[in-house]
Structure 1
Amino acid sequence: MFVYFLRRLLYTVPIAIGVSVFCFALIHLAPGDPLSAVLPESANPQLVAEVRAAYGFDHSLPEQYLKWLGHVLTGDFGQSTVTRRPVLDEVAPAVVNTFALAAAATLLGMSAGLLLGLVAGFRSGSTLDRAVTTVAVTGVSIPHYWLGMVLVVVFSVNLGLLPAMGMGSQGADTTFSLSADSLRALVLPAIAMAVIPAGIVARTVRSTVAEVRKREFVQTLHAKGLPPFGVFVHIVKNAAPTVLAIAGLQLAQLLGGSILVETVFSWPGTGFLLNTAIFTRDLPVLQGTILVLSMFFVFINLAVDLVQTMFDPRIKRS
């Protein structure tokens, strides 16, 4: 297991380097001059040269990349061109807020998806199976930003039960905590984000469990007189690797794909920060946020690979 862990960890190194190269290139591939958000159009050549030197744009691209990477490894992501604050100070609270939202949506979506998928998988071909499949397909088909607006209209505007924007009375510019205001504000965006993962997980669990139930070893377990709960445990254990892979991908997707939901609810996470950085052309913040989210995605996939081997040791030999 330890050797497999080291091998998988080494595999992530070139991926992480590739991600860093892409994030660095982002600031140069974006349309227009990266300094256009800092300098006025009437800036004289001397001022332009001084600002270029201050931001390190007077060096070659390889030199700029190595210098930028060295700063990133020490936690220095640069400075926002809009707020003049360190990028890390902008990104850190947004990451906490997005992680809290993604964790809540994952817990809700995985719980609902697993329950519906198991029920449908063990009753495959029945009316209940068809009903669960219909619900799952409907959940996958509903745009989460549209569902978010519907939830706001129903529970915030009409019923007045839950806050529609930000983090309740704390406003939008704050960090998530386990206070009553933050938890109440978390409910609607978490539901909006959980519907699609719940549908995907339900369909995956249903098809995986139904396929495992047809294998010969299940018939053998029944023939040997194993109690129904024991057969259930064996079926779930054999279906777990596939389900874990899907669950890990959905968590990573929720961390990086929450921009629309966070914008609808003005939730101060990475999606809301990315949206703001795009419209203000704050490229250092955009660069730092994408880098952090990409690294989360890489390491979540690594964690999923390692957890899968605990359920299916054959993966280590593949």
Structure 2
Amino acid sequence: MPTLQPPAPVPDRDRDRDRDQDAAPRVFDRALLARRKARALARREPGADFLLAHAVDDLADRLAIVTRSFATAVDLGGHTGRMHDVLARMPGVKRAVRVDVLTHDTTSPGAHLVADDAFPPFAGESLDLVVSALSLQLVNDLPGALIQIRRALKPDGLFLAALLGGETLHELKDVLMRAELEVTGGAAPRVAPFADTRALGALLQRAGFALPVADVDRVTVRYGDILALLGDLRAMGAANALTERSRRPLPRAVLARAAELYASDHADADGRLRATFDIVSLSGWAPHESQQKPLAPGSAKTRLSDALDALDRRQDKS
């Protein structure tokens, strides 16, 4: 097992890009999130983890093309054990460690420890691979969490993650806000904000990862009505966990109006409602001297203008 210890203090050289964890905005109520995750895991409704299954399959495909071995691989946030099972079966992984996030998944034995993915409890340069599936989007200080993950990786170690981002649930956010404004004259936040692909890629660079890559897979799920969508979110443990959420139940009149708006503005021709989930995939490597590096500015041997002139001349001759 990798050595466990509290995250190391931030070195002076990293202070400009690190954010104080205590000063990070508390967007998510992590205690509430833990309770809802525990409840969802206890009920374990069939098919409720369809998004997680999709994300894990995609991460497995990405790992399959990496031709190297990993002595210690961590599934960070491994509810249901899906990602851990993939890692354990991979021929290049010698040891797979499953880390449940915030609460133990009693329905799927095998977790090695329970930890908060905002504070990965690993010693510096102790891991070869860290994979996270649909968990990190709910961390209050994502830049800080990425920095801690990068520090936990050995040089040339790999980080892979899938996060909800971009336009995820934009239809639901739209209709709930409009309905609540119409019915009550005000609106409380009911759908989490999600970072876009470009911003997440920039966070990888800020955290010190080499060769950072970010791309998005848009998944559209169709529902018969808004209640079916809300039921799926509860079954995932993904109901509203915003710190600034309203503590009052959603009024029936607001829900009814939101259902009307959803059906009129975000439905297909057959009447079924669209729900968008943008799954942003991130990858980055802990820096190592063997990795490819961009050329230094001014080191090119040919000017771009000369290359373009030569191309124009060849086209004129043809």
TM-score surpassing 0.5?
no
More helix by percentage: 1
TM-score range normalised by the length of the shorter chain: under 0.3
Q: Highest Rg: 1 or 2?
A: 1
- Taking structure 1 as the reference length, the TM-score comes to 0.26
More strand by percentage: 2
Higher relative contact order (CA 8 A, sep 6+): 1
- Taking structure 2 as the reference length, the TM-score comes to 0.26
